[in-house]
Amino acid sequence: MKVVAVESYVVKLRPPEAYLGVRPSSANGDSYYVRPPWRSLYSDRFETLIVRVTCDDGITGWGEALAPVAPEIAQAVVDRLVTPVLIGQDPRRVRPLWTTLTGLMRERGHLGGHQADALAAVDIALWDLAGKAYGVPVHALLGGAYRDDIPTYVSGLPRSTDGERAELASEWVSKGVRAIKLHLGNGVDEDLATFDAVQSVHPELKVAVDAHWAYALADALRLGQGLDERGAWFLEAPLVPEDLAAHRELAAALRTPVAVGEAMRHRFEFRAWLEARAVDLCQPDVGRTGITEAMAIAEIAAAHHIPVAPHHSVGLGVAVAAGLHVSAAIEAMPAFEFQPTTMTVANRILTAPLVGGPVSFALPQSPGLGVEVDPTTLQEEE
């Protein structure tokens, strides 16, 4: 069994009209923009990189990178650097291939960033292919599932006022939701007021805050202390993602767990944070780490008695499926991130939709990832 082809597809799909507010106007018509108070670059489309690996016996595997901005960069890595190495290899040797692929540009400083995103897509495709070759789901190849039903939390309440957010939270609660994450960073007092409005909806509702690295340490401490008083579920990304020392100080000062991991790509980054006790909840995104590295991260976290709740943002159906298999195979896994708007788009590329959320997903049981991509959907929408 040998790899004979690796194909990469840049995908750009239009979002629903209500996608996280209105896109700011741009004088030059660019599709990328910044949405204050957050500092990251966003696209007005759902952008991603899809990879298909094909073997000489006709079996194919699908993978996806979390590449929400400029997926063409990760595509170039796949096409120029990875594909020539994969051709002729046995795709069932997933972990040895991961060692080979991560070594390609490592001495040149490219174990993370776009290189890691590209490798994540290929790694996911190899696991999918291996599962199909052996006739078992990916979670079986990972050693078995701890759960057949993956708990989720609703990520985001995209409304303009606290009253509207509370109303939307109430709608989710009526559907059985008992865990919600707020996307904030609007100022300490405003964030706490939003938290109060949403928490008041139901006495059993767990509420977390994602601050999108908007704060300096002093304000993050003030926000965290306010969340301590309110019994918050966790505080995600309160500080700039590179500042391990400040996160360590914050984590030591708070009862509310500090959650990080979206910006990280590999076990060595997570190990440093875990050893420093700078993180209380690890959030690797499988679309950025791949399945192989996500499981390595989970094992290191387990050795430090830290739970892992995989991150998911705008990845489409392949990335969702990969996250579900990883979430099933991790022992201490409180919940997988459910993005309501993303899911309305994520299934567009699949031949059959993933069914699940907002409370949980049933674990896919078909060989591989349990999803198939319709190649005719991988076209940029005008």
Query: Are 372 and 351 a contacting pair, CB within 8 Å?
Result: yes
**In Å, how far are 22, 161, 231, 287, 358 from 194, measured between CA atoms?**
20, 8, 14, 30, 21
Measured between alpha carbons, how far apart are the two ends of the chain, in Å? 39
Query: Is 13 strand, coil or helix?
Result: strand
Spatial distance between the Cα atoms of 240 and 225, rounded to a whole number of angstroms? 19
C-alpha neighbours within 13 Å on the C-beta side of residue 194:
28
- Report the alpha-carbon distance of residue 214 to residue 315 in Å, rounded: 23
Buried residues in 252-276 as b, exposed as e (16+ CB within 10 A): eebebbbbbbbbbbbbebbbebbee
Residue tagged active-site, from 212, 247, 311, 312 = 311
Q: Identify the CA nearest to 365 among candidates 151, 147, 153, 154.
A: 147
- Residue 83 CA to residue 8 CA, distance in Å, equals 10
Residue 210 CB contacts under 8 Å (≥ 6 apart), including other chains: 155, 181, 182, 183, 184, 185, 236, 237
Whether 281 contacts 258, CB under 8 Å: yes
Q: Which of 109, 106, 43, 117 is nearest to 78 (CA)?
A: 117
The values of phi and psi at residue 44, to 5°, are -85, 5
H or E element at residue 109: none
CA neighbours within 13 Å on the CB side: how many for 295?
A: 21
311 is catalytic: yes
Residue 46 is encoded by which pair of tokens?
């759902």
Could you give the CA distance from residue 235 to residue 219 in angstroms, rounded to a whole number?
A: 13
Interacting residues of 121 by C-beta distance below 8 A, sequence separation 6+: 8, 49, 50, 51, 63, 64, 65, 74, 78, 287, 290
Q: Among all residues, which ones are annotated catalytic? A: 311
